[in-house]
Structure formats: C-alpha cells, structure tokens
Amino acid sequence: MIFFIFFLLILFLLIFFYLFRINKNNINKNNNSNNINNINVHLVVYSNGEPYNSTKEKTIRSAQKYCSKNIIIHEYNLDIIKNKSWFKEIEQLPKYNKIGRRDGYYNCWKAYIIKEVLDKIEDGDILYYVDSSRYYLEGFTEKFDLLCNITKNLGIIAGSVGLDMLNIHYCNNLKVWNKVYSNNKINNFIYLFKKHVLNSWFILEKNELNKKFIDEWVYWSCYKDNELKDPLVTYQDSVDQSVFNILTYKYNFYIFYDIFTLHNNNKNKNLVNKIINNSNNPYKYFIKLR
C-alpha cells in the first residue's frame, strides 16, 4: 500500500514537471513570436522621375497590407538628397561621363540613404531596401513577413544572385577588387568567374557588423587615390552595385539564390517573396558565395 502511494506521488510529480516544462516552452515560443512580430521594419525607397515615382508610390501604399510588422517608410528623391549634408560627396559624379552612369550619380545615393537610415534606427530593427523598378511596376503583392523573420535569424540578406550573371560581365576590374578586398588571402581573380550580386533589394538587421558593411560601402564608393583617380563607383558597369558586390564577398554574407530565377527576375521583389513563402524549407534559398 505504501509502495503504491509512493508510486502515485512520483507519477504525479513527473506529470506536474512535464506540464510545467511544456507551458514554459510555449510561453518562450510565444514571447519569441511576439518579439519578432513587434519589430520595426524600415522600408527605404527612392525615385527620380517616371515610371520610378509611380512604382515607389505603389510600393509605399501596399507595404503595410503585406506585412504584419510595424512598417516605417523612408522616402527619398533627387530633390530630397540634394539638401542632405552628404550630397556634397557625390554631387561631382555627373562630370564623370562613363558607361553605366544611370541618372548621373551612378546610383551612389543608394549607399548614403541606407547609411542615413541605419544610423537613425534602433539596434535590432530591420531595414528593407527595394528599388522603384521600371521593369516591375507594381507595389507589394506578396507578404514579406517571412523574409523579415529569416533576416532576424541570419542577420542580413545582401541581395540576390542568378545563375546567368557573373562578375566577369559587369564587375571585372581587378584594381577595384583589390582596393576594396585587399586582405584577401586568395587571388581576387577567381571571383571574376563567380556570381554577381544584385542589390535591387536587400534586407538587414541593425547590428555592428552590418553598420561596418554599410560604412565601407559609402567609403569605397567615392574613394579615389593616385592609382585610381576617379571614384571607384565609376569604374564598373554595375556602378554602386559593383562595390556592394565586392563587399558581399568580403563579408561572406547570405544572399538569395534560386537556380531557376535569373538575374533580371531577381529584381522582382514579389517573385522572391513568393518563392520563399511557398517553400517548405525557405532557408535553402539563402547561401554564402565563398
């Protein structure tokens, strides 16, 4: 009889501790879920003229509908950036009349607006940049909560790559590579035959490593010296993206890669979100390039 009572007591204690542990785990999961859902997502957009202005407006209007997190918009155009203290660093770029100059500023403003927003926001917040595209004119049509959650886990998704675009095509100046990635133990020549990173969209969490990355992007974009007398952003056809691309290799960040999605298709923010939203294993699409 005593043994039976002792057995019931032990059984009761085991059940109690088991239920307590389950409840504790559920509370932790709920807290983690709430923390992720309550984060701020800073959407950064820029446009200069049509059709870019219309794409930007549709992106802004649709953002909160397709994300449950707190969306904060940071909107830029040429008039706005001309009034920024940092504009003096890029205002001379139009005088360099080279291939790929875009609106005259070689898209160099992109690094500067990202730094400006990143410097202002809180640690742990998410910054999501998307181009105001002339190719994909719609706003958001796919949810991007999952992309934000993955970014919280990985720290950064530094754009995307397609199987069809290599550095040899648009980012092949070894002198520029060696300036930006000078401590590399491997000859940078090998990277010319690797995939070229597209920065039509990218997303990152504010942390010390990502701040350093963006600071370097700003620094190297307008860097020049006795060997390379023009700003580095002017030397390669993919302009601002060329410096971003080299730094992505240097930092070995995660990027999006789907073997069936080519370089130009990766410019479509909705296609990328649709691919990961419909996947049973979305993390398989995020790889490192070295």
Quick: pLDDT tens for 96-143.
988 777 788 999 999 999 999 999 999 999 999 999 999 999 999 999
Beta bridge pairs of residue 161: 257
| 3-class secondary-structure state, position 114 | helix
Instruction: pLDDT band for 77, please (50, 70, 90 cuts).
Output: very high
Q: What is the pTM of this model?
A: 0.87
Interval 67-89 mean pLDDT: 98
- Average pLDDT over the chain reads 90
User: CA 74, CA 44: separation in Å to the nearest integer?
Assistant: 5
Q: Find, among 187, 130, 182, 117, the residue nearest to 160 by Cα.
A: 130
Sequence-ordered list of residues with C-beta below 8 angstroms from that of 126, at least 6 positions apart, any chain: 39, 40, 41, 42, 69, 148, 151, 152, 203, 204, 205, 206
Residues in the chain: 290
Query: Which secondary-structure segment (H or E) carries 42?
Result: strand 40-47
Interval 238-250 mean pLDDT: 97
pLDDT in tens, 117-128: 999 999 999 999
117 neighbors 35 (Cβ within 8 angstroms): no
